Amino acid sequence: MQVEAYAGEEMVLNMGPQHPSTHGVLRLELETDGEVVRNVIPHIGYLHRCFEKHAEHIDYPGVIPFCDRMDYIASMNNSLGYALAVEKLMDLEVNERVKTLRVLMAELNRIASHLLSVGTYAMDIGSFTPFLHCFREREKVLDLFEWLCGARLLYNYNWVGGVSHDIPEGFEAKTREFLAQFEPVIAELDKLLSYNKIFLERTADVGIISEEQALSHNVTGPNLRGSGIAWDLRKEEPYCGYETYEFEVPVGLGEHGPLGSCWDRYYVRVREMEQSLGLIRQALDRLPEGDVHEHIPRRVRPAKSEVYDRTETPRGELGYYIVSGGGLIPFRVKVKSPCFTVLSLLPAIAKGGMVADIIAIIGSIDIVMGEIDR
């Protein structure tokens, strides 16, 4: 909600880098007039991930664990984008089982990521109970990942030409069991949080991102779709066979305030979890036989060339630009971060709001600092 200007005493406040509501080591320099925010200046670089420089000193397969550490909430999706880019560079085609497993894991990780986003957002706004429900369900997804590859956060799962592990016996049944019990939880979340009067008042008229702003700042993912634009790479530039799956692209509708609000962005993530459930069921139903290691090359050594490839992660379009010099080590790896682009829009959408609204806005754009400080 925008507040009209009035004469008062201006003050500069620092929010972060240890503030619990900045979702990482982010420093926000707030120029305030009383409770009204006149300007916001984000300061980044505190995490020092150095991913791109690391990638220039390690062989192609060795880069994958570093991909996991950028957006550590959606590691499966990070390594998938890199593996697809290198496979495109080498003109390497994987079998249908690998493609299906990649879709399965990417959508499970999308659910886990959105659960963390929604749960912590509720706590930022002041509602603690949904946080507990979301983290309870997220733990079940992490249990599946731990069973699959031995890790709960950083998986090193998507390899060039395949995946590290095939699913163990009983994994499919356990996944279906999770899907069946998780579906009612989404409806429960709507009752607890989505349509809660206080939550609506805190989010439905705050942090408006117009369609024009979203496009001009190259906002992607749920933040773009929250502004009513139905753009999803899984539909527009499908990979891993996504074109053969049936699913919808949820968008913000402005049902409880102006289109493109914090609430719209939150609600798109809730609805995306429902779509992921359907995608996972389809992947399980069609899972073909095959060797997940059959196309993994002994040595990854692309010819001199370059490639750009992008995928739809839980936070938007994650792009990898890779330049090969013909050796075992990439000459250059450049990453386009969806979190970095949406953070650049923060000063425009926060100006004129209240200090308390900054918390709602930061939570709604769902940033991960490891991806910004790459």
Instruction: Specify the pLDDT at position 4.
Output: 52
* Domain CATH code at residue 326: 1.10.645.10
With respect to residue 50, please indicate whether it lies within any of the assigned structural domains. Answer: yes
Q: How many domains does the chain have?
A: 1
With respect to residue 1, please indicate whether it lies within any of the assigned structural domains. Answer: no
* Whether the bond into 20 is cis, omega within 30 of 0: no
Instruction: Specify the pLDDT at position 367.
Output: 93
Average pLDDT, rounded, for the chain: 93
pLDDT(1) > 50:
no
Measuring CA to CA, how many Å separate 255 from each of 98, 252, 282?
40, 8, 30
With respect to residue 5, please indicate whether it lies within any of the assigned structural domains. Answer: no
With respect to residue 90, please indicate whether it lies within any of the assigned structural domains. Answer: yes
With respect to residue 235, please indicate whether it lies within any of the assigned structural domains. Answer: yes
Task: Read off the pLDDT of each residue in 97-122 and give the average, rounded to a whole number.
Answer: 97
pLDDT in tens, 30-87: 999 988 999 999 999 888 888 999 999 999 999 999 999 999 999 999 999 999 999 9
* Distance between CA atoms of residues 228 and 124, nearest Å: 25
With respect to residue 3, please indicate whether it lies within any of the assigned structural domains. Answer: no
pLDDT in tens, 348-358: 999 988 998 99
Instruction: Specify the pLDDT at position 7.
Output: 53
HEC readout, the chain: CCCCCCCCCEEEEEECCCCHHHCCCCEEEEEEECCEEEEEEEECCCCCCCHHHHHCCCCHHHHHHHHHCCCCCCHHHHHHHHHHHHHHHHCCCCCHHHHHHHHHHHHHHHHHHHHHHHHHHHHHHCCCHHHHHHHHHHHHHHHHHHHHHCCCCCCCCEECCEECCCCCCCHHHHHHHHHHHHHHHHHHHHHHHHCCHHHHHHHCCCCCCCHHHHHHCCCCHHHHHCCCCCCCHHHHCCCCCHHHCCCCCCCCCCCCCCCCCHHHHHHHHHHHHHHHHHHHHHHHHHCCCCCCCCCCCCCCCCCCEEEEEEEEECCEEEEEEEEECCCCCCCEEEEECHHHHHHCCHHHHHCCCEHHHHHHHHHHHCCCHHHHCC
With respect to residue 284, please indicate whether it lies within any of the assigned structural domains. Answer: yes
Q: Yes or no: say if 336 and 317 are a contact pair by the CB < 8 Å rule.
A: yes
Residue 47 sits in which domain range? 10-372
* Distance between CA atoms of residues 336 and 374, nearest Å: 10
Task: Read off the pLDDT of each residue in 111-122 and give the average, rounded to a whole number.
Answer: 96
pLDDT in tens, 245-283: 999 999 999 899 899 999 999 999 999 999 999 999 999
**Apex CA 345: angle with CA 334 and CA 31, to 5°?**
125
305 token code pair? 């060339």
Q: Nearest Cα to 339, choosing from 174, 222, 239? A: 222
pLDDT in tens, 333-344: 999 999 999 999
Query: Binning pLDDT at 50, 70 and 90, where does residue 21 land?
Result: confident
Instruction: Specify the pLDDT at position 18.
Output: 79
With respect to residue 4, please indicate whether it lies within any of the assigned structural domains. Answer: no
pLDDT(332) > 90:
yes
